[in-house]
Structure 1
Amino acid sequence: MIVDVRKLSSGACPARPVYHHGHFCVRTFHRLLSYPGYSLFIFFIIYLQMMDLRLYFKIQSRGTLDYSTSNTILNQTNPSPISHTIHIFDPLPIKKMMVEPIIHYVRSPLAEQFENTLHFTYYFPFISANAISYFHCFLSIVSMKFLSSESLFRRQIGVCIFQFRIFLDCLDGVVFRAHSHNKRYKSYYGDYGYYVDVVSDILGGTCLIVSVLLYFYKQRPFRPIKTRSNICSSSSASDGGTDETDLMILNLEDDQSSLRLNSSPSSPSSSPNEINNHLLETKQTIFITLVLFSVKYLLAAMFWDRNVHAYEDLLDSSVNTPQEKALQLSLLHSPLTILIFYLWRYLCALSIQDYLLFAIFIDRPWEFIQKTKTISWFLLVGTVLLTELHTDQLRSVFAALHSNS
């Protein structure tokens, strides 16, 4: 963004955006041809949506999970690497229905392919799932150095490091299931490995938020145009109208770092620091904004994990009577249940984490946080309330069935 501050004889600091003219479709087509990354991103989004559409029909047709095949029997006297076919939708437990789409369709299949092709646990049996968790904790700390850098290229390297850390977070689950000869895709609450995974996720999220905060402190983002106009108007009125400025945005798509300030010689008291304070967000505003974003991030993680556990107990637990099995499947195939699953897929902490990483990669983290703060809070609180009411209703339905039987 190129901002030209000029002294005008009239007007109280109006801000006028100047856009390039041209048909939207023509400009979009030119952008896709000029930047292939945009095309790849669009194809990736289409892939995720097509897989989510397929997931809907898979949930509708899913039967009762076969717990007898959850364990893999190996020949202990002559162990050998065993290859398995990767099935994205088979089996389909509750956790896989509620997990982030990128993890479901990209990272987890890659981690399973890594294990099945290279036989990682066979050739390196001494590397446990907890050891992998410790290592991606180390990567979280290393990524802070890059994510907080003022260089966009170094921040993009930090995003790649953090993405590799997320891949290792998926790999430790694959390694755990391979070592324990267990195919079930679920969280084993209360185990030592579960707490190690929780602590590593908390550390990773903390490192990401602190890195963004440090970067914003180094390069404070611009205030909104309306806020800057109000500040300029008040400062002009205090000067008696002798020093008026006009902010003209010449190109909204240019880098914000190219800022040209042409101050008037008749106002020697206006130092560059004062002008920057008028144009840039204060550190207090940045800190409060990041704190609110962190609270939303934490609540999304807590309620997602809590609700996954609740739905696993209600809809994926082993039951004895045919009536309970039929009721479980009926409630699982309910459109409301599937809607709640899809909401959590896009509102869980891992999804928010990926949204923020993508914004950092394209150098728009502040815009992402500011533009989505209201709608994201509304969706998250609404989803939490809807889920709580739904799980309470499911518990009452099962309680009524048990009382009648």
Structure 2
Amino acid sequence: MMWPSSQASKILTILFIIVVIYCMYMDTFLFLRIKNYKIDIFERVENVTQETSTSQSIKSQNYEDVTWIPCTINPLCHPTVKALMVDHINHYIYGPLCAIVDIGLGVSERMLFLTPNMISLFHVFVACVGAKLLTCQSLAVRRVAIVLFQIRMFLDDLDGHVARERKHIKGERSEVGSLGYWVDGICDSLGVTAMMIGILMYLKNNPPRRGYKGTPVSILPYHQLKEINSSEDIEKDHTAEIGISYKTKVPLPKIIQVIGLFSGQMVLSSLAWNRYIDMYQDVLENCTEYDVVRRETTFMSGKFFFATGLWRIVNPHSYLHVLSLAVFCDKTWTFLKAVHYSGYVCLVIAVAISEYLVENIRSLVVSSMDG
């Protein structure tokens, strides 16, 4: 242990509460910012209907004029479809940190030799080092690995920030089909794969224990014993009033199955997340021939904010942050067992809501063209 478990628990609990409160606070102000101020993506419109010929935007006041935090580091200044679907940690913490680092080091302006793709490739190397450390039995070393994986996620944000700054793009956007899009996606996949392999190797070499609790075998048939699962105190056999605990190692096929199911969630979440970013961007941001007022009204609606907010929680980056916390707290197996099935339910709900909303948005904005 890097420090006593009680002290670690207190520190992690306090930090977790602070982060949750901060993210809720920022979500609230992001919604208010969208409702009350101009949105960049609707300011430059080439083709509008007669309904909007006298005005190109519903709102007239710029958010930059009222905020005291410079928009270079303020994650609320330039809301876009992707910004509404990026997880809280990346959007509200790593995003501003990337801007601060960029301003301090001049990565996007002075270090022109350092391309976004080079940053992407470097964070794959960081992930490989972290994966190797994850296989170690020492909890302190595995915690160092988690720090490295958080650095990898920060670098993943940094490459996108540098690319946008050099192209003078405001706000988060996915340039689907571009070279950077594919390099970033492949590097992300390699980094996540390295992390899952590291966890698999650790659990293979240090398998969790499971057992059966009940009265002694001589009294109660084996099939009537109550199954228990535990990853704590794996070297201890407890004797309770009701009987004896029989502990055995979880077999490797079971470990592979649980990790495989969780990895499947990651893959499906990534595919669905990118799909809906692309679809929402196409309808609300890229198709300027559609009515601007209808698109902006949809973007600023509470229904759309709720639907995109679901993807803040179930997108692949959120999965990685929670998994990292579980590894740091030495609860890896407990977490994987808890979500290897239930996580699919959350994904189905998010997909169903998104499909319904996409069809409603299309019918709303396309009907203006038909009219």
TM above 0.5, yes or no, is yes
Which residue pairs with 2:233 in the alignment? 256
Deviates more, 1:53-62 or 1:347-356: 53-62
Which residue pairs with 1:203 in the alignment? 190
Alpha-carbon spacing, 1:291–1:231, altered in 2? closer, same or farther (3 Å): farther
The equivalent position to 1:301 in structure 2, one of 270, 282, 286, is 270
In structure 1, what is the Cα distance between the partners aligned to 2:349 and 2:100?
37
Equivalent pairs: percent with the same residue? 27
Structure 2: runs of 5 or more not aligned: 1-5, 45-69, 240-244
8 Å contact from structure 2 (residues 83, 91) kept in 1: yes
Which residue pairs with 1:228 in the alignment? 212
Alpha-carbon spacing, 1:229–1:178, altered in 2? closer, same or farther (3 Å): same
- The Cα shift of 1:66 comes to 4.9
Alpha-carbon spacing, 1:337–1:32, altered in 2? closer, same or farther (3 Å): farther
8 Å contact from structure 1 (residues 64, 325) kept in 2: no
Moved over 6 A (4+): 31-34, 245-249
Which residue pairs with 1:61 in the alignment? 36
Alpha-carbon spacing, 1:246–1:314, altered in 2? closer, same or farther (3 Å): closer
8 Å contact from structure 2 (residues 262, 336) kept in 1: yes
TM-superposition CA deviations, 1:362-394 (whole Å, max 9, x none):
000111112233432211111111111211222
Which residue pairs with 1:45 in the alignment? 20
Q: RMSD between aligned alpha carbons?
A: 3.1
* 1:329 corresponds to 2:329: no
SS in 1 for 2:340: helix
Alpha-carbon spacing, 1:148–1:330, altered in 2? closer, same or farther (3 Å): same
Which residue pairs with 1:17 in the alignment? none
SS in 2 for 1:343: helix
* 1:292 corresponds to 2:251: no
Which residue pairs with 1:317 in the alignment? 286
Which residue pairs with 1:6 in the alignment? none
Q: Which amino acid aligns with 1:311?
A: Y
Q: Which amino acid aligns with 1:104?
A: H
Q: TM-score, normalised by structure 1?
A: 0.75
Aligned residues, how many?
334
In structure 1, what is the Cα distance between the partners aligned to 2:169 and 2:226?
66
Structure 1: runs of 5 or more not aligned: 1-30, 70-82, 239-244, 263-274
Alpha-carbon spacing, 1:347–1:261, altered in 2? closer, same or farther (3 Å): closer
In structure 2, what is the Cα distance between the partners aligned to 1:168 and 1:234?
59
In structure 2, what is the Cα distance between the partners aligned to 1:124 and 1:304?
32
Q: Which amino acid aligns with 1:259?
A: K
TM-superposition CA deviations, 1:176-223 (whole Å, max 9, x none):
123333334211111111110000011111111111111111111122
* 1:351 corresponds to 2:281: no
Task: Report 1 or 2 for greater relative contact order, CA contacts < 8 Å, sequence distance ≥ 6.
Answer: 1
Q: TM-score, normalised by structure 2?
A: 0.81
Which residue pairs with 2:350 in the alignment? 383
In structure 2, what is the Cα distance between the partners aligned to 1:67 and 1:338?
17
8 Å contact from structure 2 (residues 42, 296) kept in 1: no
Which is greater in Rg?
Answer: 1
